[in-house]
Amino acid sequence: MTATSVSPGRSWRQRFDTRILPVVLVTPAMVLITGLIGWPILRTLWLSFREAGLRSLTTGESDFVGLSNYAEALSDPHLRRVVLVTLVFGLLCVVGTMTLGMAAALLLNRPFPGRVFVTLAVLLPWAMPRVAAATVWKWMFNDRYGFVNWSLSNLGLDFDGYAWFVSPLPAFFAIGVVVVWQSFPFVAISLLAGLQSIPDDVIDAARIDGASAWQRLRHVTMPMLKPVLLVLIVLSTIWDFKVFDQVFVMTGGGPARSTEVLSIATYREAFTQLDFGLGSALAMLMFAILAVVTVIYIRLIKEEEEL
């Protein structure tokens, strides 16, 4: 083969390999993402400015109503309460998840017999399908035959026959337990990896300098974990604000819509009341809250992921 006979073919091939092939490889994925995520979100935005009910499902027609769906979402006392409840419940779940995750990570970072087994055991709640976890916990929170009431009564508390799901506060507590139970393993394992990446001599140096265990945690370990911690807080926020399955299975939003969070309210307005316009407005509110958090998340991990 001579150089002259090869070069035209090769240069075409090179151009294909460097310019065209990457685009070809990425296109199917981008078409899927655009069609299944990008378009629906724009369409939800469009629908949120429209009066779209049952009629629009059959005829495809809907009327422009401006911001009235948003006005309804923010003025209706129930929906306003839903937004507030979602924020408070989400934040408390994040606090619970982070606290428990951190405690578990610090524990798993200490040497003790059977540590590998404990680490595996901690992963199990994360592995469980959310619907199954909520079903099992609902059984454990059963008023008459549940394990939780029996245990609390044995501890001397008056929980005999206590009904967890007839008023919002205890119901949210029970749902929160399931959410935290399923979320803390991810936080624990990620923080454990973070802890193990801190060089021992840094901690040893602090110990030799006379720092107490608490001071070492507060002034050495925590600052070094800060990047991971921030990412995990943001991720937990995203996950805990869009909780749907656990609430749907445990209370369905009831009794009397008192345990609805934004995702449940959206689903209900859209698919039970068939008010797609209002449902879309609620979905966009949720999207707006999560978009802000997502931007923070992306900023945090940008450098690490070389974006």
230-289 binders of other proteins (CB under 8 A): 231-232, 235, 238-239, 241-242, 244-245, 248-249, 262-263, 266-267, 270-271, 276, 279-280, 283-284, 286-287
**AA letter at 138:** K
Q: Does 164 bind other proteins (CB under 8 A)?
A: no
Closer residue to other proteins (CB): 144 or 219:
144
Cis check: omega of the bond before 40, within 30 degrees of 0: no
User: To the nearest whole angstrom, how small is the minimum distance from the Cβ of residue 95 to other proteins?
Assistant: 17
Q: Which of residues 13-72 bind other proteins (CB under 8 A)?
A: 13, 17-18, 21-23, 25-26, 28-30, 32-33, 36-37, 39-41, 43-44, 47, 57, 60
Please identify which residue in 76, 129, 173, 219 interacts with other proteins, judged by CB under 8 A. Answer: 129
Count the neighbouring beta carbons within 10 Å of the beta carbon of residue 175: 26
> Does the footprint of other proteins cover residue 294 (CB under 8 A)?
yes
What is the number of other CB atoms lying within 10 angstroms of the CB of residue 103? Answer: 13
9 binds other proteins (CB under 8 A): no
- Does residue 78 contact residue 282 with C-beta atoms inside 8 Å? no
In the list 53, 81, 87, 150, the residue contacting other proteins (rule: CB under 8 A) is 150
169 binds other proteins (CB under 8 A): no
Contact flag: residue 155 with other proteins (CB under 8 A): no
On the 0-12 / 13-18 / 19+ scale of CB atoms within 10 A, 42 is: exposed
Minimum separation from the CB atom of position 96 to other proteins (A)? 12
What is the Cα–Cα distance from 246 to 236, expressed in whole angstroms? 15
Q: What is the DSSP string of 286-304?
A: HHHHHHHHHHHHHHHHTTT
Q: Which of 70, 137, 164, 172 binds other proteins (CB under 8 A)?
A: 137
Tell me the C-alpha distance between 82 and 80, whole Å: 5
- Judged by CB under 8 A, the chain residues 182 through 201 that form the site for other proteins are 183, 185-186, 189-190, 192-193, 201
Contact flag: residue 159 with other proteins (CB under 8 A): no
Q: Identify which of 277, 268, 231, 220 has the alpha carbon closest to the alpha carbon of residue 78.
A: 268
Longest dimension (CA), the chain: 92
Residue 78 Cβ vs other proteins, minimum distance, rounded to whole Å: 18
CB nearer to other proteins: pick between 88 and 131: 131
Quick note: the x/- pattern for other proteins over 79-98, rule CB under 8 A, is --------------------
Part of the chain binding other proteins (CB under 8 A), chosen from 74-82, 85-93, 112-120, 164-172? 112-120
Count Cβ neighbours within 10 Å for each residue of 123-154 and write b for 16 or more, e otherwise: eebbeeebeebbbebbebbbeeebebbeeeee
Q: How far is the CB of 22 from other proteins (least distance, A)?
A: 4
Lookup result for tokens 């079903």? 135
CA distances from residue 195 to 125, 136, 189 in whole angstroms, order as listed: 22, 33, 10
Q: Does 122 bind other proteins (CB under 8 A)?
A: yes
Query: Smallest gap, in angstroms, from Cβ of residue 89 to other proteins?
Result: 15
